[in-house]
């Protein structure tokens, strides 16, 4: 069998040109503000998808059985517990790969953000336990396929040494989480969920607003100083939206139904 010898090596991943069919536009041509506008548009796409989903109808409907809502939220919390530790580790590794000529203050801001994220898996675990979940089970359960996929996406960013994509992959956490947390917390309060069952949601409905501002400023600064970062950032959010958040939430929904023998 004959093999082509026209290319002796592959172009490094971060030097490859974006494919128009992945976006419908060339990210290289965007201004820093237009990069942010694109990220925001993708967040709105996810919100629309969530609001049209079966899981959202269940959470928002007063007709949904209380036992199912409790089981559903336990499974949602559990997904976060399973992937959070790996994502923080991957995020710190991505930050460590940033160009050494990067303004040290930006490096410091990115690391400080991860410091504030460090124990959020434990915060979610407390909510899981508050709903009657077993701490032993949560700490020893093998990762779900969806949690594994979410964590693996960050490992791949590290492996490909594409640190600017980290900022795009991070955006759904900081741009989406406060919006969804604010949307859902009123429904849960109406259901009688207390502080010990909604610590994560209550915290992220407010604290992540500051994180969103920080990440937006970081993206603007990085895109201005490193124009090549624009493509990586745009790919970063697409890489992560392929595995987060809808696949995880849908998996939690299916597990909750199975546990209550509703399927």
Compute the radius of gyration of the chain from its Cα atoms. 20
pLDDT in tens, 167-224: 999 999 988 988 999 999 999 999 999 989 999 998 888 766 777 888 999 999 999 9
- Specify whether the CB–CB gap between 160 and 94 falls below 8 A: no
Say if residues 210 and 11 touch (Cβ distance below 8 Å). Answer: no
Mean pLDDT of the chain: 91
DSSP designation for 261: T
**Distances from the Cα of 255 to the Cα of 134, 208, 218, 243, 249, angstroms:** 16, 28, 37, 17, 10
Residues shown for the chain: 263
When pLDDT is cut at 50, 70 and 90, the band that residue 5 belongs to is: very low
CB 58 within 8 A of CB 64: yes
pLDDT of residue 10: 56
């Amino acid at each position: 069998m004959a093999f082509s010898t026209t290319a002796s090596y592959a172009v490094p991943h971060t030097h490859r040109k974006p494919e128009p069919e992945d976006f419908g536009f060339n990210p290289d041509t965007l201004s820093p503000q237009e990069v942010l506008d694109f990220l925001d548009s993708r967040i709105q796409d996810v919100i629309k998808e969530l609001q049209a989903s079966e899981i959202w109808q269940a959470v928002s409907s007063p007709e949904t059985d209380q036992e199912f809502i409790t089981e559903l939220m336990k499974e949602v919390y559990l997904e976060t517990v399973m992937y959070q530790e790996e994502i923080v580790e991957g995020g710190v590794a991505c930050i460590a790969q940033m160009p050494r000529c990067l303004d040290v203050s930006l490096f410091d801001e990115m690391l400080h953000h991860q410091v504030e994220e460090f124990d959020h898996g434990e915060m979610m675990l407390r909510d899981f336990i508050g709903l009657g979940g077993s701490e032993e089970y949560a700490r020893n359960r093998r990762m779900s396929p969806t949690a594994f996929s979410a964590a693996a996406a960050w490992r791949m960013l590290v492996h490909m040494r594409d640190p600017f994509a980290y900022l795009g992959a991070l955006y759904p956490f900081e741009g989406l989480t406060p919006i969804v947390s604010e949307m859902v917390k009123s429904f849960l309060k109406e259901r009688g969920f207390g502080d010990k069952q909604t610590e994560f949601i209550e915290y992220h409905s407010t604290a992540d607003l500051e994180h969103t501002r920080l990440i937006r400023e970081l993206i603007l600064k990085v895109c201005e100083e490193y124009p090549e970062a624009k493509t990586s950032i745009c790919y970063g959010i697409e890489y992560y939206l392929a595995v987060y958040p809808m696949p995880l939430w849908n998996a939690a929904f299916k597990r909750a139904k199975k546990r209550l023998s509703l399927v």
